């Protein structure tokens, strides 16, 4: 019985993680954060993380819209679209992106924290207010 519950929990967590990444919305949105506060984070990134069901990789765009940071999170499936992120803040050396995804009609909160790690970024996902977390990394996307 414990094994079955563990498998069900892992499946639910993987589904939530995929939903957080795959949820399509508008292409980009602007936050209240000035781009001057996010210089090292700006640009196109490829974010990757390891899940119980294998590796996931998706795009992240951080751009300047009128002096404010605009962000969109993509999907491992290019047909999945982009999710805009408007709640972007600094936390110490890190940049925190908060957004929601629709999981079968339920909005699930996601927090993605990025911190400098050499030329790359360390990435920490917190889904459903910490019910699931995953560590990953982001590398500059090749054009």
- Domains of the chain and any CATH numbers: 2-140 (2.40.128)
Predicted confidence at residue 112, as pLDDT, reads 95
Name the more confident of 25 and 40: 40
Q: Could you give the CA distance from residue 20 to residue 14 in angstroms, rounded to a whole number? A: 10
pLDDT per residue over 81-92, tens digit each? 788 998 999 999
Whole-number pLDDT of residue 120: 97
Segment 96-138, tens digit of pLDDT: 999 987 777 888 899 999 999 999 999 999 989 988 889 999 9
What's the pTM?
Answer: 0.76
Q: If you compute the radius of gyration of the chain from its CA atoms, what whole number of angstroms results?
A: 15
């Amino acid at each position: 019985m414990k094994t079955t519950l563990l498998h069900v929990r892992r499946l639910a967590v993987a589904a939530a993680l995929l939903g957080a990444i795959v949820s399509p919305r508008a292409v980009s949105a602007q936050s209240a954060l000035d781009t001057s506060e996010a210089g090292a984070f700006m640009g196109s990134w490829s974010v990757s993380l390891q899940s119980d069901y294998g590796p996931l990789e998706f795009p992240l765009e951080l751009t300047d819209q009128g002096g404010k940071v605009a962000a969109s999170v993509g999907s491992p499936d290019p047909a999945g679209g982009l999710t805009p992120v408007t709640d972007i803040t600094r936390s110490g050396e890190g940049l925190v992106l908060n957004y929601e995804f629709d999981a079968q009609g339920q909005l699930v909160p996601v927090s993605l924290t990025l911190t400098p790690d050499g030329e790359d970024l360390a990435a920490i996902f917190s889904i459903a207010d910490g019910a699931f977390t995953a560590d990953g990394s982001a590398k500059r996307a090749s054009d």
